[in-house]
């Protein structure tokens, strides 16, 4: 580490040159090693690499999503033949490999429900003469599942301009590092997770999970691994860890999809907690694949998930002093075209 108070600009420049020769190659090697390990993890667990239950569920969710998009279009031309065939294949595969889960799997039931809806639309619009229609219809008749718990297809969304509560929630959130000694209630946690489920995800794959930790030894493990814990109330803190499932990723073009989806998910979760009087602090950790593997073992997180971020949380104190964290101006970050 350079001590700026005791070094001249000339000395600083010389040291910089030396760093470039010695430290840079070492850093580059470390970087390539991490990307290599990331690539190995992706190849080991990604969606098309296996027929695990959740891999098939992700494929079903993607098929459902495609069909729902088709159902939102006002076009009078028929759609979805290939998707229906894909979906039938995946539903049959799921049924064959994991039959005991079919009644309780939301993705599976969504897959069936979207086919039912597709049949209804085909009949309404007079597209019921095709082979795919007949195949799907026959399949549905042979597989009568209860679909009460799932809502699929399209609906009319109406915007209410009078409801501006969102602004207040967004503007009043600030990172909180000190917390009340009152433990978070399961009721509050579940309500916030339920709200967070409304977060969008790529093709509605819903690849993120929230792990909740109130146990002191697990909290201590997290506190020891996380890097920015200065000023944090490590006693009263409740930790959450947001992960994403590698099995949801479709390949190399999606290698950052998990982190992006986790970011959206985590932010909604934090805002939901805030709206119920729970302060939070996002926590980064100096992530290497090795360290992450160890942490996952310690916390009981499966190897095919990646840790995106940790969140410290607790009920707000009546008052606490926090950094101003001034934001840039709109014109510093908004780039308009001409």
Ligand X SMILES: Cc1cc2nc3c(=O)[nH]c(=O)nc-3n(C[C@H](O)[C@H](O)[C@H](O)COP(=O)(O)O)c2cc1C
| Residues in contact with ligand X by the rule CB under 6 A | 174-175, 177, 227-228, 281-284, 309, 325
> Two tokens at 114?
């979207």
* CA distances from residue 59 to 82, 153, 328 in whole angstroms, order as listed: 14, 17, 41
The CA-CA-CA angle for residues 304, 308, 310, to 5°, reads 120
Pick the closer one to ligand X by CB: 123 or 220: 220
| Residues 278 and 315 sit within 8 Å (Cβ to Cβ) | yes
Task: Name the minimum Å distance from CB 170 to ligand X.
Answer: 10
User: What is the enclosing helix (H) or strand (E) of 43?
Assistant: helix 9-45
* CA distances from residue 268 to 166, 195, 244, 247 in whole angstroms, order as listed: 11, 8, 15, 23
Pick the closer one to ligand X by CB: 92 or 284: 284
Contacts 24+ apart (CB under 8 A), 152-161: 152/64, 152/68, 152/110, 152/113, 152/114, 152/117, 153/68, 153/71, 153/113, 153/114, 153/117, 154/68, 154/71, 154/72
Pick the closer one to ligand X by CB: 60 or 222: 222
Three-class SS of residue 308?
Answer: strand
Pick the closer one to ligand X by CB: 145 or 260: 260
Pick the closer one to ligand X by CB: 174 or 193: 174
Task: Name the minimum Å distance from CB 32 to ligand X.
Answer: 24
User: Which among 206, 321, 225, 326 is positioned nearest to 268, based on CA atoms?
Assistant: 206
Task: Name the minimum Å distance from CB 329 to ligand X.
Answer: 16
Q: Distance between CA atoms of 132 and 165, rounded to whole angstroms?
A: 47
> Two tokens at 108?
């599976």
Task: Name the minimum Å distance from CB 94 to ligand X.
Answer: 36
DSSP category for residue 324: -
Pick the closer one to ligand X by CB: 81 or 282: 282
Task: Name the minimum Å distance from CB 98 to ligand X.
Answer: 36
Pick the closer one to ligand X by CB: 6 or 325: 325
Pick the closer one to ligand X by CB: 128 or 271: 271
Task: Name the minimum Å distance from CB 241 to ligand X.
Answer: 13
Task: Name the minimum Å distance from CB 173 to ligand X.
Answer: 7
Task: Name the minimum Å distance from CB 72 to ligand X.
Answer: 33
Residue 60 exposure: Cα atoms within 13 Å on the Cβ side: 28
Three-class SS of residue 306?
Answer: strand
């Amino acid at each position: 580490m350079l001590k700026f108070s005791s070094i001249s600009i000339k000395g600083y420049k010389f040291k910089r040159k030396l760093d470039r020769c010695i430290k840079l190659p070492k850093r580059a090697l470390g970087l390539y090693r991490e990307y290599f390990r990331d690539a190995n993890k992706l190849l080991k667990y990604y969606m098309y690499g296996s027929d695990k239950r959740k891999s098939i569920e992700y494929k079903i969710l993607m098929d459902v999503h495609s069909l729902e998009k088709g159902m939102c279009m006002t076009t009078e031309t028929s759609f979805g033949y290939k998707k229906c065939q894909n979906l039938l294949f995946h539903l049959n595969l799921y049924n064959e490999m994991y039959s005991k889960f079919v009644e309780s799997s939301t993705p599976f039931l969504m897959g069936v429900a979207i086919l039912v809806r597709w049949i209804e639309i085909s009949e309404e619009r007079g597209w019921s003469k095709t082979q795919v229609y007949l195949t799907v219809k026959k399949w549905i008749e042979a597989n009568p599942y209860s679909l009460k718990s799932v809502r699929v297809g399209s609906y009319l969304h109406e915007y209410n301009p009078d409801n501006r509560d969102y602004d207040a929630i967004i503007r009043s959130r600030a990172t909180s590092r000190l917390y009340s000694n009152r433990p978070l209630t399961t009721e509050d946690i579940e309500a916030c997770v339920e709200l967070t489920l409304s977060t969008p995800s790529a093709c509605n794959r819903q690849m993120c999970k929230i792990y909740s930790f109130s146990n002191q030894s697990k909290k201590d493990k997290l506190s020891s691994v996380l890097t920015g814990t200065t000023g944090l109330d490590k006693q009263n803190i409740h930790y959450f860890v947001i992960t994403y499932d590698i099995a949801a990723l479709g390949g190399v073009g999606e290698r950052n999809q998990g982190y992006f989806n986790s970011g959206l998910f985590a932010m909604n979760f934090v805002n939901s907690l805030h709206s119920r009087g729970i302060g939070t602090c996002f926590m980064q950790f100096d992530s290497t694949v090795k360290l992450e593997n160890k942490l996952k073992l310690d916390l009981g997180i499966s190897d095919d998930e990646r840790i995106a971020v940790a969140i410290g949380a607790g009920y707000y104190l009546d008052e606490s002093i926090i950094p101003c964290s001034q934001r840039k101006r709109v014109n510093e970050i908004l780039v308009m075209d001409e």
